Structure 1
Amino acid sequence: MESHFERVLAAPAAVKRPAVSSIAPSAAKQPRVSHTATSAQISAVVDGAEAQEGDALDARSLKSRAKSLLKQVQRNALDREKHVDDPLKFLESELALDHELKRWQQVAAKPELFGVMIELQVPRVLLGLFAHDNVDIQLSVLSLLADLTEVDDAVESQEPARKLAQHLVDEELLPLLVNNLFQLAAVVEKDGEKAEEETSGMYRSLQILENLVDLEPQVCVEVATKTAVLPFLLQQVAPTKGFSENKLYASEILSILLQSRAEPREEFVARSRKERRKEEAEPVTNSSKNSQAHLMDDLLQALAPFRKKNPASDEEEEMVGNLVNALCSTLLVSEAQTQFRHLEGLELLLRCMKDRRQFVFGGALRGLDHALMGNVRNCERLIEIGGLRSVFSVFMGRLGKYKLRSNSKSNRVNERALQEENVASLIASMCAWVRKDAPADGYDRLHAKFVENDMEKIDRLVDLFAKYQDRVERSSHVDEMEVGEEDEESRYLRRLDAGLFVLERIAFVVAHLCHFSKKLRAYVMIKFHERSIDSASLTAILRGQLKLLAADEAVTSDNDETRKESVKDVVNDEAKDAHKAQLQQLLEALEAEELPVDDENELTKETEAKNNENS
């Protein structure tokens, strides 16, 4: 606070904020103002400390504090209006107001008083100070709100905190917060390291946003759809900005919002759609291109530098992970998948996978998996641009080699398991969605991959099938020993942890290949026999997937709200119906052993096709 008045009273040339610069007297007329300010501040602090000693923090004292706060706000506003040409005249009231705000931070430790604070309309008074000319007052308000919304996990604290959070949202805190973020960011952009207070204010603002989201998840929808927070966050993670604590925090908030619900993802896509229409309607010059940024493009640009370099610290690794999470969440929307393809996102992620020693390798693989889910054109496009080589290289066990800074054995095992899961899901998507008449002979090129090099890909499939089947079966045996202690959902989650999802994806690919070619089916059955795998287990897994889809459909149809949300993402009714039809067809073919009659030279043709594989 004192530093604010030192800047205001120093000289017009040194003024930082225009709102006060026009009324600043010349430097020559100023005595040692800093000493005056310090004296007034010390006096205010001493007076406040003495008052606090006798203050019992309860409903009665809170009412007294509320009156005092309102009195200080009104007094300062009046002093500023009366002495607009002489900052010294409103210096004392401004310091008193700042001190009063700091006194309210004690209330953060008493969540039981939040209800009284709401009744006294204190939040409305605080939000009114967002428009104060002195940025230090704004920062004090941000600091206070951050403390008030950050409570412990105790039930007795959570309930009043949730009520306060909802009240703040009802009082239009979110647009005020985001607008203030833009203003603070503009100052930081202009003044750089000198803008320490504004940088701190940005951090506090992001902290408030995170606290509100923790208390009221619906805030994710409110802030994403009713403010410009998504463009702001993407501006903060831009590659042109150096790494900072605020950049990391912005990536975290972006990830939280996009992972929360369908509406923020839809808003992300809708904003990108609007910007794209602007670009198509207006000539794009170098100056307008940046102002009409495509949100998906911004996100890809933020990730792009890490295709060639690794993060420099644990914090930067966390930021890249947040960006990957944000991308994968966005790709749950089918229109986002289309935008991603048009912006050459597939090509970018393939470049990120060129060097297995890069940190982003695993994230790029996960992004590809999400980009292909339920999307015919993305599956076919990946083959067109030569992505099969990279994908099947990972499938054959050539996984990422980046050494995490927390390079424990469990972390390495988890990372390998995640990459196996992603590549199995990715290949299952291509088997499910690539059409027979796909461009660039995509259908033939995909299946030729499985027969090249003496069927090594099918050998790998069977190995993975055996590996994950054993894990899931052992998990089921544990379940049988604990009958009655866990419900059906808990048992299902245990099987998922053991690798059921990967097993289902592998089973789908095996069944698809068996249906595709009688010769491939014969080869698979031989390998099953060598590994002592019961062929009936394949149909059992497919049947289990069908049962799960049917159960999920029943639950969704009973809940209209859930249904409305689910149709916005890739896993919607249309995709589910198509997947169910595929599973049913494969299951019937396997059980009836009615496979298509293949041309005698089919394998020869497939082998020849592999020679044309440019991926």
Structure 2
Amino acid sequence: MEEDDGGDDDYEEEETEEDRAAQLDRMLEEAEPVEVMDLPQLKRLLTALDRKVMKNQEMRVRHSDDPTKFMESEVELFEELTKLQALATAPDLYAEFVRLGGVNKVTELMDHDNVDVALAAVEVVHELTDPTVLEEGDPEGMQAIVDGLADNAALELLVRFLARLDETQDDGRQGVYNILEVFENLSELQPGALEAVCDKTDLIDWLFKRLKVKGFDQNKLYSSEVLSILCQSSEKTQAKVGEGEGMDRLLGLVAPWKKKDPPGEEEAELIQNIFNVICSALMVPANQSALVEGEGIELMVIIMQNRRFAARCALRVLDYAMNRNTAACERFVSAMGLKTLFPAFMRPSSLCLSKSKEAKQGQKEDEEHIVSIVSSLLLRLGGESHARVLNKFMENGLEKVDRLMELHEKYHKRAKEAANDVEDDEEDGLTPEERRYMARLDRGLFSLQHIDVTIAFLLTEEIEEVDARVRLIMRQNGTDLAEVLETIEEYHRNMGDEADRNKAQSDVVDMKEVLKDLEAFLNYVSKE
């Protein structure tokens, strides 16, 4: 009996699986095929849309004092406009859509008095600028859509429309999200168009205000993403972000997180996006000065001291600032930043209390920023501040010199292994030497360069104990100062003309000259 029952159960289970398969087949057979728009259909839609627009305008003029009498015409206009979303199924028709005046019609409707009609127009633009759709179509059609939007001031209208939307309503929230997504889409398709929008409109100001709204929601997160994207794509936009009190506003957005961790992953992403904006903005000299004057260095030091989630983000900001600005280095030392920096130099895991997987994975990046900051301090500082940095290497039996040499060995080994792993016959347009150099950069060559520059700087101080310890450790590792010299020489060869890239900045260190001097010094002392 038990065996028979088991057999029945097996039969019923098998029968259920067959039923599911049959049901799926029926659903596929009954599903309506997706209709792809063709040119005649597009022309009919645009003609019908013209008629609905004209009728709506006429009814609005005729019954301006009684909205109920032109409401039906607006519903018809809304429905006709919604049909244009199907154009996204035929990206090959985009160029023709522009030629027929479609972009102009849709753009005009984004400024319609009825918010629902304007939202429908925004949704059409949202669908037409989807990069995944545009990639499948004719590149000329993609360019035609982007150019058409720019020529008809559609992007400026989108920014203006943001102020009309009520995010307490579902439609308003979705409308804001769609507009932000249009800007993100265009950042992939034509970043230059967004630079002009940021310059001509209040988009940056709107994003700042949206980020200042209390609480968390998806549009706040998306606003931080869009601001970060805009700031990465253009130096002009970076300058725009820092104009007026821009840097102070950014500092105000991150300050609440100096003593607490974000409650979830999305809030953490929001914080990272804002710090990304600060880092991008620091590419502009005026913003570096604004950060220092606004006590941004002190805030970053406090955030690091509290060792919460934002500590790693603050470290990155400090690296960006101090790598480019001597005043930032001075302020860092006076703000007692060395007390937090060098414990992290000895043990990067001490930077953040979090034991999350992300924090552990980020320790390599943290180490890169730390050695870069140490190098910047020795390079840029003089007088008492320089002496305070040097003193850190003299403490506790030269433990930080030992750590520096440990890092040299670690990153030199990684870079060497990376070069050995490169295939010489790859078809990527690079020479074998260039390919090996890029592979070594990916595995830590940039950090090795900062480490070896720091070693060279310490040796130029001609402190007998430091010199002896460096040489001793290198002998124990079976090498000598020629290894450091080799790194400096390669760094020098691949260093671009920094003066040309930073003409507007007076606080520029000519690294080519610095490296040249370090080469000469190492050539001399390595023969001793």
Q: Shorter-normalised TM-score: what interval?
A: 0.7 to 0.9
Q: The residue matched to 1:320 in structure 2 has which SS? A: helix
Find the aligned partners of 2:458 and 2:288 in 1 and give their Cα distance.
Answer: 27
Find the aligned partners of 2:437 and 2:150 in 1 and give their Cα distance.
Answer: 38
What is the correspondence of 1:467-546 to structure 2 with a 5 Å cutoff? 467-479=410-422, 482-485=423-426, 487-488=430-431, 489-519=434-464, 520-546=466-492
- The answer to whether the Cα contact below 8 Å between 1:333 and 1:568 also exists between their aligned partners in 2 is no
Find the aligned partners of 1:418 and 1:224 in 2 and give their Cα distance.
Answer: 31
Counterpart of 1:575? 508
Find out whether 1:306 has 2:260 as its counterpart: no
> What amino acid does structure 1 have at the position aligned with 2:100?
L
Cα 1:154–1:84 shift into 2, 3 Å = closer
Q: The residue matched to 1:575 in structure 2 has which SS? A: coil
Superposed CA deviations along residues 8-56 of structure 1, whole A, max 9, x for unmatched, are: xxxxxxxxxxxxxxxxxxxxxxxxxxxxxxxxxxxxxxxxxxxx99997
Q: How far off is 1:347 after superposition? A: 0.9
- The answer to whether the Cα contact below 8 Å between 2:92 and 2:138 also exists between their aligned partners in 1 is no
Find out whether 1:350 has 2:301 as its counterpart: yes
Q: How far off is 1:569 after superposition? A: 7.9
Cα 1:158–1:533 shift into 2, 3 Å = farther
Q: The residue matched to 1:311 in structure 2 has which SS? A: coil
Q: How far off is 1:402 after superposition? A: 4.9
Superposed CA deviations along residues 317-351 of structure 1, whole A, max 9, x for unmatched, are: 11111111111111111211110011110111111
Residue 170 of structure 1: which of 151, 154, 179 is its match?
151
Residue 593 of structure 1: which of 503, 525, 528 is its match?
525
- The answer to whether the Cα contact below 8 Å between 2:298 and 2:331 also exists between their aligned partners in 1 is no
Find out whether 1:231 has 2:202 as its counterpart: no
Q: The residue matched to 1:218 in structure 2 has which SS? A: helix
Cα 1:497–1:212 shift into 2, 3 Å = same
Superposed CA deviations along residues 501-531 of structure 1, whole A, max 9, x for unmatched, are: 0000000000000001241222211121123
Find out whether 1:428 has 2:375 as its counterpart: yes
Cα 1:232–1:518 shift into 2, 3 Å = same
Find the aligned partners of 1:196 and 1:485 in 2 and give their Cα distance.
Answer: 52
Cα 1:259–1:53 shift into 2, 3 Å = closer
Find out whether 1:84 has 2:16 as its counterpart: no
Q: How far off is 1:224 after superposition? A: 2.1
Cα 1:73–1:54 shift into 2, 3 Å = farther
Q: The residue matched to 2:164 in structure 1 has which SS? A: helix
Find the aligned partners of 2:106 and 2:368 in 1 and give their Cα distance.
Answer: 49
Find the aligned partners of 2:401 and 2:317 in 1 and give their Cα distance.
Answer: 25
Cα 1:398–1:500 shift into 2, 3 Å = closer
Find the aligned partners of 2:56 and 2:133 in 1 and give their Cα distance.
Answer: 38
What is the correspondence of 1:110-121 to structure 2 with a 5 Å cutoff? 110-121=90-101
- The answer to whether the Cα contact below 8 Å between 1:166 and 1:216 also exists between their aligned partners in 2 is no
Residue 394 of structure 1: which of 336, 344, 350 is its match?
344
Counterpart of 1:333? 284
Q: How far off is 1:92 after superposition? A: 1.3
Find out whether 1:446 has 2:446 as its counterpart: no
Cα 1:404–1:61 shift into 2, 3 Å = farther
Find the aligned partners of 2:486 and 2:172 in 1 and give their Cα distance.
Answer: 60
What is the correspondence of 1:194-213 to structure 2 with a 5 Å cutoff? 195-213=169-187
- The answer to whether the Cα contact below 8 Å between 2:131 and 2:189 also exists between their aligned partners in 1 is no
What is the correspondence of 1:98-137 to structure 2 with a 5 Å cutoff? 98-137=78-117
Counterpart of 1:268? 241
Q: The residue matched to 2:420 in structure 1 has which SS? A: helix
Find the aligned partners of 1:394 and 1:501 in 2 and give their Cα distance.
Answer: 19
C-alpha RMSD over aligned residues: 2.4
Find the aligned partners of 1:75 and 1:106 in 2 and give their Cα distance.
Answer: 23
Superposed CA deviations along residues 96-154 of structure 1, whole A, max 9, x for unmatched, are: 00000110010011101111110111111111112211111111111111111114267
Counterpart of 1:381? 331
Find the aligned partners of 1:128 and 1:456 in 2 and give their Cα distance.
Answer: 69
Counterpart of 2:320? 370
> What amino acid does structure 1 have at the position aligned with 2:261?
N
- The answer to whether the Cα contact below 8 Å between 2:183 and 2:194 also exists between their aligned partners in 1 is no
Find the aligned partners of 1:56 and 1:414 in 2 and give their Cα distance.
Answer: 46
Could you say which structure has the greater relative contact order, defined with CA pairs below 8 angstroms and 6 or more residues apart? Answer: 1
Superposed CA deviations along residues 180-210 of structure 1, whole A, max 9, x for unmatched, are: 11332xx44xxxx3x3322221111101111
> What amino acid does structure 2 have at the position aligned with 1:174?
L
Counterpart of 1:290? none
- The answer to whether the Cα contact below 8 Å between 1:347 and 1:385 also exists between their aligned partners in 2 is yes
Find the aligned partners of 1:56 and 1:473 in 2 and give their Cα distance.
Answer: 55
- The answer to whether the Cα contact below 8 Å between 1:158 and 1:215 also exists between their aligned partners in 2 is no
Q: The residue matched to 1:152 in structure 2 has which SS? A: helix
> What amino acid does structure 1 have at the position aligned with 2:121?
V
Q: The residue matched to 1:220 in structure 2 has which SS? A: helix
Find the aligned partners of 2:503 and 2:101 in 1 and give their Cα distance.
Answer: 39
Per the normalisation by structure 2, the TM-score is 0.88
Q: How far off is 1:404 after superposition? A: 7.2
> What amino acid does structure 2 have at the position aligned with 1:364?
A
Find the aligned partners of 1:518 and 1:210 in 2 and give their Cα distance.
Answer: 54
Superposed CA deviations along residues 518-568 of structure 1, whole A, max 9, x for unmatched, are: 41222211121123233201000000011001xx34xx99xxxxx6xx437
Counterpart of 2:14? none
Q: The residue matched to 1:57 in structure 2 has which SS? A: coil
Find the aligned partners of 1:360 and 1:63 in 2 and give their Cα distance.
Answer: 54
Q: How far off is 1:57 after superposition? A: 2.3
Q: How far off is 1:371 after superposition? A: 1.0
Find the aligned partners of 1:393 and 1:385 in 2 and give their Cα distance.
Answer: 16
Find the aligned partners of 2:90 and 2:355 in 1 and give their Cα distance.
Answer: 42
Find the aligned partners of 1:63 and 1:326 in 2 and give their Cα distance.
Answer: 44
Per the normalisation by structure 1, the TM-score is 0.76
Q: The residue matched to 2:132 in structure 1 has which SS? A: coil
Find the aligned partners of 1:401 and 1:382 in 2 and give their Cα distance.
Answer: 19
Q: How far off is 1:261 after superposition? A: 2.4
- The answer to whether the Cα contact below 8 Å between 1:262 and 1:568 also exists between their aligned partners in 2 is no
- The answer to whether the Cα contact below 8 Å between 1:231 and 1:295 also exists between their aligned partners in 2 is no
Instruction: Identify unmatched segments of 5+ residues in structure 2.
Output: 1-31
Superposed CA deviations along residues 150-179 of structure 1, whole A, max 9, x for unmatched, are: 142674426122320122012111211111
Instruction: Identify unmatched segments of 5+ residues in structure 1.
Output: 1-51, 273-293, 558-562, 596-615
> What amino acid does structure 2 have at the position aligned with 1:575?
V
- The answer to whether the Cα contact below 8 Å between 2:199 and 2:240 also exists between their aligned partners in 1 is yes
Counterpart of 1:464? 407
Find the aligned partners of 2:359 and 2:114 in 1 and give their Cα distance.
Answer: 51
